[in-house]
Amino acid sequence: MAVLVTGGAGFIGSHTCVELLNAGENIVILDNFSNSKPDVLDKIKAITKKDFKFYEVDLLDPEGVEKVFSENEIDTVIHFAGLKAVGESVQKPLEYYYNNITGTLILCDAMRKHHCKRIVFSSSATVYGSPKTVPIREDFPLSTTNPYGSTKLMLEQILSDLYVPDHDWSVMLLRYFNPIGAHQSGMIGENPNGIPNNLMPYVCQVAVGKLDHLNVFGNDYPTPDGTGVRDYIHVVDLAVGHLKALQYARKHTGVEAVNLGTGTGYSVLDIVHSFEKANNIKIPYEIAPRRAGDIAECYADPAKAKEMLGWVAQYNIETMCKDAWNFISNNH
Ligand code: WQD
């Protein structure tokens, strides 16, 4: 039996594959390299000294997806593959709905045909919209403010509906907060193409001298220092959370939404100062206008993950900043 990891060459996917292989899991990776690079596969093998089957397949290709399931005994899917840039989704809603929703429907159809009824889904804290209070629990109201977030919320609903007529399904909806950092080897990490949208990759580009300063999007939020507060979580902690969710899903059926966050919020300036201190590098910044769609504060109540999965984030912000720098300084 094998675990299929869709989007396994991506940032979170590749770190999860490392943890799965190190835990002795037999995995199959599917990726179309739309937001990842083929050399990541070799790095996963180098880090783990383990091998795996790989298929360069787009989830929008039903024949390609069928081939993966007919050639392998897949008993669980960990589903990362999807477009994930918030700003881009506002400009290209049709691409986001078509790619993320239709791709997942094709995946689930193949799963059903091959009697694979266990899925761990890459969801996002963005499904909470603009929370009235923090920390955020899984039973908080759900709403979205952009097509990317709407695809995540719709897919949570679609996957939950699979369980209603067929209680053999096991569905884990993992709601990520803000993943940053990199594997301690420095061989895999976050290296988006073009100008980064997200804070840490942007800080890293300033640190390597590709960008001359960081624009801090607003310092007039109702937060301790006026800048946006988020729950930054080490990508390896996030990866381990998927392994724990897989182990739970093997023993239980049903639908469970679980926050994967640290439970601690850090502001933009906290991140800048932590990065500077951890790596002894100056990060010049300028205060800029707020970014449309941003919220003031977002961080998790991670109690359910601890109680249900026995999972607690281990790495602190200093390690996240050091590991992010270690990766980008060796791979820019
Ligand atoms: C973090 C903070 C910005 C860039 C998004 C998605 C979420 C998830 C993670 C997919 C905010 C500030 C940022 C910059 C800045 N992605 N910032 N200057 O927006 O919390 O979450 O990415 O699942 O779904 O919504 O992350 O890193 O873009 O922003 O000041 O150049 O950094 O205003 O306060 P965000 P982010």
pLDDT digits (tens, 9 = 90+) for 17-51: 999 999 999 999 999 999 999 999 999 999 999 99
Tell me the CA–centroid distance for residue 8 and ligand 1, in Å: 22
Distance from C-alpha of 166 to C-alpha of 156, rounded to nearest angstrom: 16
> Measured between alpha carbons, how far is 323 from 332 in angstroms, rounded to an integer?
14
pLDDT exceeds 90 at position 194: no
Q: What is the mean pLDDT of residues 98-115?
A: 98
Specify the residue with its C-alpha closest to ligand 1, atom 21: 178
Q: Is pLDDT of 98 > 90?
A: yes
The backbone torsions φ and ψ at residue 288, rounded to the nearest 5 degrees and listed phi first, read -120, 170
| 87: confidence class by pLDDT, cuts 50, 70, 90 | confident
Q: Where are the beta strands (DSSP E) in 177-252?
A: 178-180, 214-217, 229-230, 232-234
Pocket test for ligand 1, best of 35, 134, 195, 230 (most atoms within 8 A of CB): 230
Band of residue 178 on the pLDDT scale cut at 50, 70, 90: very high
Residue 158 alpha carbon to ligand 1 centre in Å:
26
For the chain, what is the radius of gyration of the CA atoms?
A: 19
Q: Report which ligand 1 atom has the smallest distance to the Cα of 179.
A: 9
SS3 content of the chain, % helix, strand, coil (to 5): 40, 20, 40
Ligand 1, atom 13, residue with closest C-alpha: 199
Ligand 1 binding pocket, CB closer than 6 Å: 84, 86, 124, 126, 176, 178, 197-199, 202, 214-217, 228, 230, 268, 291, 294
Mutate to test the pocket of ligand 1, among 130, 180, 217, 320 (most ligand atoms within 8 A of CB): 217
Residue 193 has pLDDT above 80, yes or no: no
Closest ligand 1 atom to residue 146 Cα is 25
Average pLDDT over residues 130-156: 96
Report the length, in residues, of the chain. 332
Question: From ligand 1's centre to the CA of 198, what distance in Å?
Answer: 5
* Ligand 1 mean position, distance from CA 199 (Å): 6
Cite the beta strand spans of the chain per DSSP E. 2-6, 27-31, 53-56, 74-79, 118-124, 170-176, 178-180, 214-217, 229-230, 232-234, 254-260, 266-267, 285-288, 297-298
Tell me 252's DSSP state. Answer: -
| Number of the ligand 1 atom closest to the C-alpha atom of 196 | 31
Provide mean pLDDT across the span 308-322.
98
Mean pLDDT throughout 94-119? 98
Cα-Cα-Cα-Cα torsion 305, 311, 315, 317, nearest 10 degrees, comes to 0
Q: Give, as one character, the DSSP assignment of residue 6.
A: E
Q: What would the mean pLDDT of 97-122 be, rounded to a whole number?
A: 98
Strand partners for 149:
none
Give catalytic residues, as residue numbers: 148
Query: Residue 192: which pLDDT band, with cuts at 50, 70 and 90?
Result: confident
Ligand 1 atom, smallest distance to 268 CA: 32
String of b and e for 24-54 (b: at least 16 CB within 10 Å)? ebbbbbbbbeebbeeebbebbbebbebebeb
Which of 83, 86, 223, 271 to mutate for ligand 1's pocket (most ligand atoms within 8 Å of CB)?
86
Q: How far is the CA of 19 from the centre of ligand 1 (A)?
A: 26
pLDDT at 292: 86
What is the Cα–Cα distance from 165 to 156, expressed in whole angstroms?
16
Q: 203 alpha carbon to ligand 1 midpoint, in Å?
A: 12
What is the pLDDT, as a whole number, of residue 83?
96
Residue of the CA atom closest to atom 18 of ligand 1: 216
The predicted structure's pLDDT at residue 212: 96
For residue 71, pLDDT over 90 is answered with yes
Q: Say whether pLDDT at 198 is over 90.
A: yes
pLDDT at 241 over 90: yes
Residue 89 backbone class (left: φ over 0; alpha: ψ -120 to 50; beta: rest):
alpha
Atom from ligand 1 closest to the CA of residue 228: 34
**pLDDT tens readout for residues 202-230:** 999 999 999 999 999 999 999 999 999 99
Mean pLDDT on 174-201: 94
Q: Is the pLDDT of residue 302 over 80?
A: yes
Helices 268-279 and 317-331, packing angle to 10 deg: 70
Q: Which residue, by CA, sits nearest to atom 31 of ligand 1? A: 199
Q: What is the pLDDT of residue 332?
A: 82
pLDDT of the residue at 258:
99
Q: Which ligand 1 atom is at minimum distance from the Cα of 122?
A: 23
Mean pLDDT on 110-138: 97
* Pair of tokens at residue 320: 């996240």
